[in-house]
Amino acid sequence: MADAVDGRTAEGAAALAELFRRHHVALVHLAVLMVNDQATAEDVVQDAFADVYRKAGTITDHDRALPYIRTAVVNRCRTVLRRRRLTWRVAATYDPPASSAESAVLLAEEHRAVLSALDRLPPRQREALVLRYYLGLDEAGTAEVMGVGRGTVKSTTSRALAALGGALGEPS
């Protein structure tokens, strides 16, 4: 076994670096869908990885690190959204950050419509859809990340899809 440095092993640090390399972009996209802000999403993911790095010496099952980080990202997004709601209550209005020129070029009009409709969903419904259909988690994985039962995932996803379809003008 490699020498421990500040409670972290070289093996653990290498595994975390590989995890970062392979999943960072997808986790940032997940966070962007949750908080609708690229800079905040990047901060959320960076903080989640920093937490895991600090705990790298205590993580014995590296296969559980990705689900742990996903859960940490979702929880941090929830915290950001709670703070925004508090800010919205205190401040009269909130202007969401404008999309960058690069983002505007990359997103097609229909994608913007879907993202806009997704942003108008209640946070729990948005979480369920993003985890199920963007990350491709099954019901059990989504339930684990959200901290709810599978039945709640099913009903929340169903309501979210109906609301999203209605917002996009699709017949029910």
Cβ count near 160 (within 10 Å): 22
* pLDDT greater than 50 at residue 2: no
Residue percentage of the chain with pLDDT more than 90: 38
pLDDT classification of 134: cutoffs 50, 70, 90: confident
Give tens-digit pLDDT for 5-35: 444 567 777 888 888 999 999 999 999 999 9
- Structural domains in the chain, sorted by start: 1-97 (1.10.1740), 99-172 (1.10.10.10)
* pLDDT greater than 60 at residue 118: yes
Are 30 and 134 contacting, i.e. CB atoms less than 8 angstroms apart?
yes
Give tens-digit pLDDT for 87-117: 655 555 545 566 666 655 555 677 778 888 8
Buried b (16+ CB within 10 A) or exposed e, 15-43: bbeebbeebeeebbbbbbbbbbbbebbeb
- CA-nearest of 64, 82, 80 to 30 is 80
